[in-house]
Structure 1
Amino acid sequence: AMWRAIDAGYAYFDGGSRPRWRKARGHWHRMAARAGSTPQLVSALEGAIAELRDDHVMLVSPGKSTGRRIPYDLDIWPRWREGTVSIEAVRTFGDADVAGLHAGQVVTRVQNVPVESAVREMLGAGRSTIPDIEWALRRVLAGPRIGLQRIDIREARRESVVEVERTAPAPSTSPPILARRMGDERDIGYIRVRIGAANGDLAPHFAGALGHMTGTRALILDLRESAGPGSREATRSILSRFATQPTPWQVRQAPGNPRATDTVEPDGATYTAPLVVLVDRWTAGEGEALATGLVAVAKARVVGTAMAGLRGELHEITLPVSGIVVRYPGERTFVAASGAPREAFQPSLPVDLSAPSGGPGDPILYRALKLLERR
């Protein structure tokens, strides 16, 4: 059932992924048929979807997962640059951050294995693109769910070893919405939205927080903390609070079909002052949809790094007997404001975390506040 659904409906097959997917079918089908338990079945299904090398293809199992959800449980964002693995970003307060890793460092070994060898083992034989390599790197650096992860790094010609104590991702006690006023005159609103938070419905919380921003001359919307995939209802509800008229916010295209445009209607009191959206590599899934939607709906300026780059609009199928849910991109998505693929979106004001301005602290928020300074 999973193979048929993905083979017919996955929106991002190309000249490399479709042959690889079809070639591997027999092997993973046999592994799934031999599975004697749910964990064994999940392992076989995960092996199959790994052939797609797409972070937005995922399983939701009735049992506990043994791995880390990427990008949601990842705390090191690696990049492959001319044969070198560099750290582009480290998630604030994550295990890697606590251990002392930071943007700009070069990774040479993980768990005593040269990082190139670890990637090659994960990808297998055959040609690999840079996106393939970086997909594998994210899994290599995600580390075990629990335990010690040894990472060899190089920085300014000095080499050292960092031991990252991996702890099981714990449910956050942070509220889904955090709102306050900022600036010398407290006239800049700030709302942090935890997309995918499990502790409450975002839409009414956001409406309440936005109501307290009446009279502010600008608003900063912080979308850098995605706890999970999020909900489309919350995305549309938040967008509606910035729409002054029916406005296109996203374009979708299923395989073999024409493009379809999604429109949002105004709902409630509309916030019309300038809007700045903060994003980083952990702005993922619905967070990316919301950020790019706000560019179209509210002419928002986006500050930060590239986002997670999760591709497409999710479709899902529930497998019979096991009840495992398989989610995969069934439609390509495009930014309504430009028509460009959503996964390729870049901030209008990029921030290089390996050489930030403004000193220690939060360089992305610093850049946003500088942008909103009175001239």
Structure 2
Amino acid sequence: MSRHLLLFIVALIALPGLRAQTLSQKDFYEDFETLWQTAKEQYAYWPEKKTDWDCVHEHYRKALDTVHTKRQFTTFLEAVLRELYDNHIGLNTNTSSSYRLVPTGADLALRLQGDRVWITEVRPRSGAAAAGIRAGMELTAIDGKAPAEALKALLPLCLRAPDSAARLFALQQLAAGTHDRPRRFTLRSTAGTTDYFPDTFVNIDTLRYEGLLESRMLPGGIGYIGIHNSLGDEDLIPAFDSALNGLAGARGLIIDLRETPSGGTSTVARALMGRLLRREGYYQRHELPADSGRYGVRRSWVEIVTPRGRPYDGPVAVLAGAWTGSMGEGIVVGLHGLGRAKVFGHPMAGLNGAIYPFRLPHSGIGYNLSAERLYHVNGTRRELFRALQEVRDGAAGTDAALEAAIRWLRAKAR
């Protein structure tokens, strides 16, 4: 090896950006203080939470004494944020033992009734669907533990009072599972009680899509466009335009947003909605609590959708469900508020508001907080929107929401 090459390698090793990051205990404490204070000031959903944030500070600051590595700190911060029991907030990094994000990494939608848990939806193409899990089954155990017992490990430690929303959040996390451990569900149906192992069929972490969307003409001249979790990709705009132009003669149009769990951008959402309008209209109300100042002067505004390209004027049905998340929910409430669509399916993910990104100064770990409250133009909080025609899922292989939308569109086209 030449002397020049040796010196070059030594210089590379010495570069700060290439060395392994070393964090001191002081760094961990300061990063925790930053996150705690930022959430206190910026989080928009304190009125809905029963979290004692001062208790969180006291409890977790003491627990920091056991944190010595960035991996441990990541796990620590995940526990801190679970105190807010909000599926729309989280870190931009994880570990193999982290719980999957809900709804993006989930394949079951659940309803909690006392200590009993019911499956309300099963994600198509998922391991749960392939394993034979169906809506209407009762979940009696997760990895051998009754749900009421299992969820205790993920319940917030600093609640001022019990909250069923915190219990449902913990249950959703447990059902989604961690990246490194296969799940075992015990489910009861009319056929009896059976164990199911969804991860032996499909690992949800590897779920991929064929293209940004799919489109086709259904029998009876009904157009169909299904979005493939691509609302954050601006290439969806020309793809949607092409699909809609190809369906210009449809007697009615179905927009399927049931596979949009990861949200997206307002730019893409407004572009899609703009193709269905002839005039500008309000689609969503915003509120930024952190910008209310010393005297609580409320800051809020309404966002407008502008027509774009050749509009589609026919009747529109939108399909929604538990994997319609964030910006997908925004499109649903937007088209409903604009009077441009009827909604079919199941309650949506119910993610809180718009998330803002932040970053910790020492570890560099990024995190998102629900900092902006969002509303239907009629004042309904977006996460509470229920103005849809709910459907009862039929036999395996059928799509009750799609069938209901087709019937409605055919009736409108007569």
Normalization by structure 2: what TM-score? 0.83
1:328-367 equivalent positions in 2, closer than 5 A: 328-336=369-377, 338-353=378-393, 356=394, 360-367=397-404
Counterpart Cα distance in 1 of 2:96 and 2:195: 31
Shift of 1:160: 2.2
* Residue equivalent to 2:362: 321
* Residue equivalent to 1:136: 170
* Residue equivalent to 1:39: 71
Q: Show structure 1 runs of 4+ deviating over 6 A.
A: 62-65, 197-200
Task: Identify if the C-alpha distance between structure 1 residues 30 and 168 changes in structure 2 by more than 3 Å, giving closer, same or farther.
Answer: farther
**Number of residues paired by the alignment?**
368
* Residue equivalent to 1:205: 239
Counterpart Cα distance in 2 of 1:282 and 1:270: 27
More strand by share: 1
Residue identity opposite 2:311 in structure 1 = T
* Residue equivalent to 2:25: none
Residue identity opposite 1:84 in structure 2 = R
Matched, 1:277 2:334: no
Choose which of 270, 284, 287 in structure 2 pairs with 1:253: 287
Specify the SS of the correspondent of 2:278: coil
* Residue equivalent to 2:208: 172
Counterpart Cα distance in 2 of 1:106 and 1:37: 40
Shift of 1:198: 7.4
1:167-192 residue CA offsets vs partner (Å, 9 max, x unmatched): 251151421111111123xx211101
Counterpart Cα distance in 1 of 2:50 and 2:180: 32
Counterpart Cα distance in 2 of 1:10 and 1:222: 31
Shift of 1:236: 1.6
Choose which of 183, 187, 201 in structure 1 pairs with 2:219: 183
Q: Is the 8 A contact 1:239 1:290 kept in 2?
A: yes
Matched, 1:231 2:265: yes
Counterpart Cα distance in 2 of 1:65 and 1:242: 44
Shift of 1:50: 0.5
Matched, 1:24 2:56: yes
Choose which of 125, 149, 153 in structure 2 pairs with 1:121: 153
* Residue equivalent to 2:409: 372
Q: Which runs of 5+ in 2 are unaligned?
A: 1-33, 293-297
1:308-343 residue CA offsets vs partner (Å, 9 max, x unmatched): 00011211212223332211111211101x221111
Residue identity opposite 2:228 in structure 1 = R
Residue identity opposite 1:25 in structure 2 = H
1:122-141 residue CA offsets vs partner (Å, 9 max, x unmatched): 21566422211111110111
Q: Which has the larger radius of gyration?
A: 2
Matched, 1:9 2:50: no
Shift of 1:359: 7.5
Counterpart Cα distance in 2 of 1:157 and 1:97: 17
1:270-291 residue CA offsets vs partner (Å, 9 max, x unmatched): 1111110000100001100111
* Residue equivalent to 2:182: 148
Choose which of 111, 123, 128 in structure 1 pairs with 2:143: 111
Counterpart Cα distance in 2 of 1:96 and 1:104: 14
More helix by share: 2
Deviates more, 1:274-283 or 1:172-181: 172-181
Q: Is the 8 A contact 1:197 1:227 kept in 2?
A: no
* Residue equivalent to 1:82: 114
Residue identity opposite 1:182 in structure 2 = L
Shift of 1:200: 6.6
Shift of 1:18: 4.2
Q: Is the 8 A contact 1:275 1:298 kept in 2?
A: no
Q: Is the 8 A contact 2:142 2:186 kept in 1?
A: yes
Residue identity opposite 2:380 in structure 1 = A
* Residue equivalent to 1:307: 348
Specify the SS of the correspondent of 2:267: helix
Counterpart Cα distance in 2 of 1:140 and 1:190: 35
Matched, 1:244 2:278: yes
Residue identity opposite 1:169 in structure 2 = D
Residue identity opposite 1:363 in structure 2 = A
* Residue equivalent to 1:99: 131
Choose which of 150, 153, 160 in structure 1 pairs with 2:194: 160
Counterpart Cα distance in 2 of 1:63 and 1:134: 23
Shift of 1:197: 6.4
Residue identity opposite 1:332 in structure 2 = R
Residue identity opposite 1:6 in structure 2 = A
Q: Is the 8 A contact 2:96 2:178 kept in 1?
A: no
Q: Is the 8 A contact 2:258 2:321 kept in 1?
A: yes
Q: Is the 8 A contact 1:196 1:226 kept in 2?
A: yes
Counterpart Cα distance in 2 of 1:236 and 1:24: 39
Q: Is the 8 A contact 1:62 1:323 kept in 2?
A: no
Task: Identify if the C-alpha distance between structure 1 residues 270 and 96 changes in structure 2 by more than 3 Å, giving closer, same or farther.
Answer: same
Counterpart Cα distance in 2 of 1:118 and 1:3: 27
Counterpart Cα distance in 2 of 1:344 and 1:245: 27
Counterpart Cα distance in 2 of 1:85 and 1:141: 11
